[in-house]
Amino acid sequence: MSERLPVAVLGGTGYVAGEFLRLLASHPQLGLAAVSSESRAGQAVGATFPNLSSAWADTRFCDEAELAKQVAGGRVRALFSALPHGAAAARIDSLLKTAEQAGAPLTVVDASADFRFRAAADYERVYGHPHPCPDRLAQFASALPEHLAGCPAPHVAHPGCFVTSVLLGIVPLLNAELVAPEFHVSAITGSTGVGRKLGETTHHPERHGNMFAYQPLVHRHRPEIEQLATEAAAPCKVHFVPHSGAWARGIHATIHGRLASGADLAALKAALAGAYAGSPFVEVIDTPPRLKDVTGSNRARLAVAADAEAFVVMVVIDNLLKGAAGGALQWMNRLLSLPEDAGLRLPGAGWI
């Protein structure tokens, strides 16, 4: 631990927090300094995450007051936030103020949507309430690490899982001007995508052996996709229909669109392959990708098909890793000048 940079997880009892803890257990250069939970402070991490009990046998959740003390004392160098949308911003802001007042460096990567929008008005329009700390928005970059070079801001708001899957498929094609800037997306996610709290659409008898769309064409991730695609490539319009799948983890996104004049399948394949040639986690393949090839890993697999007028890109990712904790760790590695794939070289789990 003395040779590792100390990091903390804020809001440590949800599925994404569990993945942060799992990744940190084997990270060669980051060590867990604290994991906070107001509802389970003092309880053993293994009681909430039995799968992690061997890794964190002596670790207990702390409350946020204790986490703030550690930040003020310079005992936390970096912070992952796994709090939900609407709850993260104010608490991150408070911890950053604590760090600033103490003169202690603190780097934040947030897995919620609270800092993804550039303008507070855009956030309010999508989420229905004012942003609690709009002055912080300029301090957070939001993009996929594959689509933005360097460290353009002190902190990062990692794009969400649906957003990640769609951006991986459309940004290289927009940049290459091979497609019309309008896309129709159907994406299916596993039940972990809605978090730990039980709801009508996550109850096992409703989800098992079932599939259904929800919030078609009005889901809150649509404007996030359009904003980030515009910043990474070009303005576009996205018609997005999310679906609930019967599995626990993983997203399969199918992206339809029209070819630009003169474009063909070979050009599409070349654009995707070229865009991700240097990526340790994104692979362009020749056959339609399958979820089980990436679940449990930070990898993404893409394939493209086309006829004379239209194209389709198929993308698979693990929603909890590449779409959340894994992508966030990619960013943290970069922000801390560590190898981007550190702690993320784990292969897919396969038959889960």
The residue-averaged pLDDT of 333-350 equals 94
Residue 37 to residues 7, 40, 200, 344, Cα–Cα distance (Å)? 15, 5, 25, 25
Structural domain spans, the chain: 5-142, 161-319
pLDDT of residue 91 exceeding 80, the answer is yes
Q: Stretch 75-96: mean pLDDT, rounded?
A: 96
Whether 198 has a pLDDT exceeding 80, the answer reads no
Interaxial angle between packed helices 15-24 and 326-335, expressed in degrees from 0 to 180 and rounded to the nearest 10? 50
161 tagged catalytic: yes
Q: Is the pLDDT of residue 136 over 50?
A: yes
Q: Dihedral angle at the C-alpha atoms of 61, 64, 67, 68, nearest 10 degrees?
A: -170
Per-residue tokens: 178: 């091979």
Q: What is the torsional sign of CA 290, 292, 293, 296?
A: positive
Residue whose tokens read 């933005």: 148
Q: Report CA Rg, the chain.
A: 20
Average pLDDT, the chain: 95
- H-assigned helices in 80-160: 88-102, 120-127
* Residue 310 neighbours by CB under 8 Å, 6+ apart: 256, 257, 258, 259
Q: Which residues contact 198 (CB under 8 A, 6 or more apart)?
A: none
Tens-place pLDDT, residues 64-75? 999 999 999 999
Give residue-wise pLDDT tens across range 257-315: 999 999 999 999 999 999 999 999 999 999 999 999 999 999 999 999 999 999 999 99
Q: Would you say residue 172 has pLDDT above 50?
A: yes
Candidate CATH numbers 2.60.40.10, 3.30.360.10, 3.40.47.10, 1.20.1260.10; the one for domain 161-319: 3.30.360.10
Percent of the chain scoring above 90 in pLDDT:
92
Please tell me the distance from the alpha carbon of residue 241 to that of residue 167, in angstroms, as a whole number.
15
| pLDDT at residue number 257 | 98
Query: Quick one: pLDDT at residue 1?
Result: 42
The mean pLDDT of 239-265, rounded to a whole number, is 97
Q: Over 60: is that where the pLDDT of 2 sits? A: no
Work out the average pLDDT over 175-189.
98
The CATH architecture that domain 5-142 belongs to is 3-Layer(aba) Sandwich (3.40)
At residue 202, does pLDDT exceed 80? no
What lies within 8 Å, CB to CB, of 67 at 6+ separation is 8, 10, 34, 36, 76, 95
